[in-house]
Structure 1
Amino acid sequence: MKETEAVAGIDGTIIFPLVDPTRILQPHRDALILSLEMGDFDMRCILVDPGSSTDLVQASVISHMGRNLTGLENPGRILSGFNGAATTSLGDIVLSVQAGPVTLNVQFSVVQDLSPFNVILGRTWLHYMKVIPSTYHQIVSFLTEDGQIDLYGSQLAVRQCYQIAREVGTSQEDKPLPESTRALDQ
């Protein structure tokens, strides 16, 4: 996403619905995981992380989308995690992300290992969309001219992402190839 791009969301009051006990297992400590359309793919295992200052995508996801990793912009940028561990970005790529009725071109830093997540949507995307995430409610909400949009996370997806990561480990070669308009699991 470029600095000059207009903000997608609008300002107003967001009200979270009551927690539906048939949809959310309580108590929980689950991360907020979404499935969104990115390009021609239904992308799963997307972590919504307000603590991340950048939006990240796994290199294997880009390859599986049929995109070339050569020629990425800004290669070699050092990214540091909360624990001080450093990762070197392979570069940046712009991908369209559809959240409900809003599609936004997002600049992602491409990295080798995000396991168990395919994508991390951080503060950049959250702020441009004016999204308010709630891990407690397992929801992200934002406003459009047509009203409030609520996108629900999935506790089952969180557990599946972690299970896949345990089974596959960090090996990128073992990941199945996704197909266009089909779900991209890890």
Structure 2
Amino acid sequence: MTGSPGYTHGSPPPMVFPPIPEGAILHLKPLYVNAHICGKPINKVFIDNGAIFDVMPLKTLKKLGKGIGDLSPVDIEMTSFTRQPTKPEGMVVAPIEVGPKVISTVFFVVDANTTYSVLLRRDWIHASKCVPSSLHQHIMFWKGDKVFRMDVNTNPFGSTEVVEESVLYS
């Protein structure tokens, strides 16, 4: 590829996001993907470059067939999106498969009503060596020497779910 800085024959190709079409409507959609945790399909996985913790609500832990007894204790306090202090129930390590990557991840488990099934933070993004784009609504991964593009879940909320975020997808 001529003109691509840092690209030489034999190195992974650069990731290129397509241009945004002229007149495209701006949106506020967060990045939601489908994934597998411990081999079980999980939807509404929220990828947030600004998050400090990988978070799993208790309801998701139960979907994985696990409970409070499976958690390791933690002595930290987290701040929720509403700036309220939240004490995690504990933490669990679980493999999460997103696109071509499987990353063993430490999740802090909270007993909270969330719109997501799990929240993946910046460290997960870096560990998976992906480039998420909320603007383009997809994620780019390197898989060996190939670039892999994963489209996000374009409608993570079912028609019967009533949550504020669902208006962004109607």
Q: TM-score range by the shorter chain?
A: 0.7 to 0.9
- Residue 40 of structure 1 corresponds to which residue in structure 2? 39
CA positional deviation for 1:162: 9.4
- 1:166 counterpart letter in structure 2: V
Question: Is 1:120 matched with 2:119?
Answer: yes
CA separation in 2, counterparts of 1:76 and 1:162? 39
CA separation in 2, counterparts of 1:113 and 1:80? 12
- Residue 166 of structure 1 corresponds to which residue in structure 2? 163
CA separation in 1, counterparts of 2:99 and 2:114? 25
Structure 1 segments unaligned to the other structure (5+ residues): 1-9, 168-186
Question: Is 1:56 matched with 2:55?
Answer: yes
Aligned residues: 153
Do 1:30 and 1:135's aligned partners in 2 also have CA atoms closer than 8 Å?
Answer: yes
Question: Is 1:13 matched with 2:17?
Answer: no
Structure 2 segments unaligned to the other structure (5+ residues): 1-10, 165-170
Structure 1 pair 153/19, CA: closer, same or farther in 2 (3 Å)? farther
TM-score (normalizing by structure 1): 0.71
Structure possessing the higher radius of gyration over alpha carbons: 2
Superimposed CA distance per residue, residues 36-72 of structure 1 (whole angstroms, 9 cap, x where no aligned partner): 1112211101111111011111111111211132252
CA separation in 1, counterparts of 2:87 and 2:135? 32
- Residue 149 of structure 2 corresponds to which residue in structure 1? 150
CA separation in 2, counterparts of 1:32 and 1:124? 16
Do 2:34 and 2:98's aligned partners in 1 also have CA atoms closer than 8 Å?
Answer: no
- 1:17 counterpart letter in structure 2: P
TM-score (normalizing by structure 2): 0.77
- Residue 100 of structure 1 corresponds to which residue in structure 2? 99
Structure 1 pair 56/66, CA: closer, same or farther in 2 (3 Å)? same
Do 1:76 and 1:90's aligned partners in 2 also have CA atoms closer than 8 Å?
Answer: no
Query: CA-atom RMSD, angstroms?
Result: 2.8
CA separation in 2, counterparts of 1:129 and 1:75? 25
Q: Report % sequence identity.
A: 20
CA separation in 2, counterparts of 1:155 and 1:26? 15
- 2:151 counterpart letter in structure 1: Y
Structure 1 pair 64/154, CA: closer, same or farther in 2 (3 Å)? closer
- Residue 27 of structure 1 corresponds to which residue in structure 2? 26
Do 2:13 and 2:147's aligned partners in 1 also have CA atoms closer than 8 Å?
Answer: no
SS of the aligned residue for 1:33 comes to: strand
Superimposed CA distance per residue, residues 115-135 of structure 1 (whole angstroms, 9 cap, x where no aligned partner): 111100111211111221110
Structure 1 pair 83/121, CA: closer, same or farther in 2 (3 Å)? same
Structure 1 pair 132/163, CA: closer, same or farther in 2 (3 Å)? farther
Whose RCO is larger (CA < 8 A, sep 6+)?
Answer: 1
